[in-house]
């Protein structure tokens, strides 16, 4: 069998396995008898330190053997997409009930506690591994095993400090009120009150930036560099501005420097961003991504994109399981555009179909056209990113043939759409082929922070600092890239297992005969790019009129963030930092509940602005009878 592995960062090694024992941060180990004792001297070598660092990187995504299941996915689909209106839990009523409770904002439910603890354990495990790396590095240096000023020593320290900052930021985004741990902490029952989390993260990122080289160490894709730390610092400043607008000045200065001098750029077309094709992975748009690896000798596929493995079409498809993370009707409607190819939601208050079809159709008949309403007998044009984001009936699903209703586990429960970004292309040969349902694990890298995200944060910073029309330029860059390609026929005739899918697609669309490309090029007409296929009228335009109104400009940037980053686990955190969550979620539920009946019981309130801290972690934090971790308001 062909071995396919991306770099040594995330491949299990004996050293990394030992490191799991050293650095476990799920705090219940404090009250549990140890199963054994590791002689740290066995790791006190340069190779041992590198192994610990690998273990710290490994916590970027779920690992079933360490911290649990889907609550710790690198994409944050459970925490960032499902509660935001981008995605439903999916599957059916009985499977993964905690995600249903997360979607309906019942975050105090007992089942949710396990998921919350998975995420808490993941981030603090990552912090502990990073800190253990630094402590062991100091020991190796003191013993003469490494020169403290060497490139290797600086690189290990800088990468570990960067990862520590990232994991704390992940915790901050969910809970805000968190303890901050460095390599000097020996007491792991610190308070989460009045902690200057942002200042500590920025300090760590500044230190990492100074220690790291401009490019990834040893040329290993996936390692943090000085530019990674600087770009991430701009992201942290943008989030901090939600609490203190003065941070926008720092965000703008930092992000401007990254854009003007850094190594990043947009991919040439949107289909190159989320992909299993090796030639496009770790391209110029990647700032930080989980480096999924397949066919590397790990028998259960746990180095692949394990945290996404539920998020594939169900048994009627090639993938076989499991039908979670289904895009919402609201999200699909949001991709509709006007005559100029701009978001319909900007100008049409009826964009979300306020009188929706009460019953989900079993096929695209009647007044439903591939998921969108007719207008005067013509289908509504859509942003081409819709069919790189969601699978919908009778539309090619990358190069796997036509998506159809048999791929949905229960359309009456969570609707007719499937996730798409995390799915490998057939022709890319990116499947893992081991473990439980081997067709649903792959080596599509999971973007944690990418350049389009950064550009849109800079657009926000420009608006906040009075440079309103500069923001238009960044938005237009992203929209112009989105106008390069749309979903094409994508028939992979070289795969003999897809003969039936090929025949089905040719029967539906005879013009697809001989069309083996997964993409179709849009026709560029002035500032509007468009193309008509048998399943869609794709259209996208750029903003031609200079922006002068900061309120309208910010609204356009917010819309662009949703279109560009949909289903990437960012949306809920954006709504929260903008202060829009209460209104947006209420409006979403008011319409979507007519299509998804269980949402009638969903109720979002002020306490949902922050996730509750896991009860078990509060209990484990006790010093005497005092809880060192204080629960977030309302929980």
User: Could you state, in chain order, the average pLDDT of each consecutive group of 10 residues for the chain (635 residues)?
Assistant: 38 37 34 52 91 96 70 97 98 95 96 95 96 97 97 98 98 98 94 97 98 97 98 98 98 98 98 97 98 92 91 94 96 95 94 54 43 55 96 94 94 95 95 88 96 98 98 98 96 84 92 92 89 92 97 98 98 98 97 95 96 98 97 97
CA–CA distance from 615 to each of 47, 123, 171, 188, 377 (Å)? 38, 16, 15, 16, 55
Hey, what are 547's tokens? 């922006």
User: What pLDDT does residue 392 have?
Assistant: 93
Question: CA 418 to CA 550: how far, in whole Å?
Answer: 36
Indicate the domain borders of the chain.
312-421+466-569
Question: CA 54 to CA 296: how far, in whole Å?
Answer: 15
Q: Would you say how long the chain is, in residues?
A: 635
Q: Please write down the HEC assignment for all residues of 364-429.
A: CCCCEECCEEEECCEECCECCCHHHHEECCCCECCCCCECCHHHCCCHHHHCCCEECCCCCCHHHC
Upstream peptide bond of 322 is cis (omega within 30 degrees of 0): yes
Conformation bin of residue 315: beta by default, left when phi > 0, alpha when psi is -120 to 50 = alpha
* pLDDT tens readout for residues 466-492: 999 999 999 999 999 999 999 999 887
Strand 519-521 with 485-487, pairing: antiparallel
User: What pLDDT does residue 27 have?
Assistant: 33
User: What pLDDT does residue 494 have?
Assistant: 81
Q: State the pTM of this model.
A: 0.92
Residue 487 pairs in a beta bridge with 519
Taking a C-beta distance cutoff of 8 angstroms, is the pair 241, 405 a contact? no
Taking a C-beta distance cutoff of 8 angstroms, is the pair 414, 596 a contact? yes
Strand 418-419 with 87-90, pairing: unpaired
Question: CA 481 to CA 272: how far, in whole Å?
Answer: 11
For residue 215, with 0-12 CB atoms within 10 Å meaning exposed, 13-18 middle and 19 or more buried, which class applies?
A: middle
Hey, what are 620's tokens? 């484990």
Q: What is the CA radius of gyration of the chain?
A: 24
Hey, what are 43's tokens? 């790791």
How many CA within 13 A on the CB side of residue 100?
18
CA–chain centroid gap for 153, Å, is 31
């Amino acid at each position: 069998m062909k071995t396919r592995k991306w770099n040594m960062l995330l491949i299990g090694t004996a050293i990394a396995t030992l490191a799991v024992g050293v650095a476990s941060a799920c705090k219940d180990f404090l009250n549990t008898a140890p199963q054994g004792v590791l002689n740290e001297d066995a790791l006190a070598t340069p190779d041992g330190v590198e192994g610990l660092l690998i273990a710290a990187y490994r916590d970027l995504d779920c690992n079933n053997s360490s911290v649990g299941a889907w609550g710790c996915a690198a994409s944050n689909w459970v925490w960032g997409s499902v509660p935001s209106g981008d995605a439903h839990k999916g599957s059916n009523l009985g499977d993964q009930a905690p995600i249903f409770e997360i979607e309906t904002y019942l975050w105090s439910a007992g089942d949710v506690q396990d998921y919350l603890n998975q995420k808490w354990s993941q981030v603090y495990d990552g912090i502990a591994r990073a800190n253990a790396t630094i402590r062991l590095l100091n020991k190796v240096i003191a013993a003469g095993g490494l020169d403290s000023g060497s490139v290797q020593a600086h690189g290990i320290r800088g990468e570990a400090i960067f990862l520590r900052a990232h994991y704390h930021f992940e915790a901050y985004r969910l809970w805000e009120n968190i303890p901050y741990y460095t390599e000097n902490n020996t007491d792991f029952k610190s308070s989460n009150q009045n902690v200057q989390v942002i200042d500590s993260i920025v300090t760590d990122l500044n230190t990492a930036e100074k220690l790291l080289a401009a490019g990834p160490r040893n040329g290993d894709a996936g390692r943090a560099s000085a530019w990674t730390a600087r770009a991430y610092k701009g992201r942290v400043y943008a989030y901090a501005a939600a609490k203190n607008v003065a941070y926008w000045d720092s965000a703008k200065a930092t992000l401007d420097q990254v854009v003007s001098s850094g190594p990043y750029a947009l991919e040439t077309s949107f289909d190159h961003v989320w992909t299993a094709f090796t030639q496009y992975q770790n391209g110029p748009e990647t700032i930080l991504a989980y480096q999924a690896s397949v066919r590397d000798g790990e028998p259960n596929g746990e180095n692949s994109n394990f945290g996404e493995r539920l998020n594939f079409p169900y048994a009627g498809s090639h993938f076989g399981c499991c039908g979670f993370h289904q895009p919402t009707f609201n999200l699909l409607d949001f991709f509709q555009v006007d005559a100029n190819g701009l978001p319909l939601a900007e100008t049409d208050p009826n964009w979300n179909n306020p009188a929706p079809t009460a019953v989900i159709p079993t096929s695209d008949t009647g007044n439903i056209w591939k998921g969108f309403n007719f207008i005067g007998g013509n289908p509504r044009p859509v942003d081409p990113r819709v069919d790189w984001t969601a699978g919908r009936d009778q539309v090619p699903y990358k190069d796997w043939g036509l998506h159809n209703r048999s791929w949905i586990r229960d359309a009456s429960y969570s609707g007719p759409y499937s996730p798409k970004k995390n799915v490998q292309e057939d022709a890319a040969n990116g499947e893992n082929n081991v473990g439980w349902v081997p067709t649903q694990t792959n080596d599509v890298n999971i973007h944690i922070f990418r350049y389009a995200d950064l550009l849109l944060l800079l657009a926000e910073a420009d608006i906040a600092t009075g440079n309103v029309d500069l923001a238009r330029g960044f938005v237009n860059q992203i929209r112009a890239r989105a106008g390069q390609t749309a979903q094409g026929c994508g028939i992979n005739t070289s795969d003999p297992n897809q003969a039936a899918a090929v025949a089905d697609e040719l029967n539906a669309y005879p013009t697809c005969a001989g069309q083996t490309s997964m993409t179709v090029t849009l026709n560029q007409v002035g500032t509007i790019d468009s193309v008509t296929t048998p399943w869609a009228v794709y259209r996208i335009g750029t903003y031609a009129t200079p922006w002068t109104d900061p309120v309208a400009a910010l609204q356009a940037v917010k819309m662009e963030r949703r279109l560009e980053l949909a289903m990437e686990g960012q949306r809920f955190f954006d709504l929260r930092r903008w202060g829009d969550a209460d209104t947006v979620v209420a409006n979403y539920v008011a319409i979507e509940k007519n299509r998804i009946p269980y949402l009638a019981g969903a109720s979002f309130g002020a306490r949902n602005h922050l996730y509750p801290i896991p009860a078990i972690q509060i209990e484990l934090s006790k010093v005497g009878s005092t809880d060192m971790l204080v629960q977030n308001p309302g929980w």
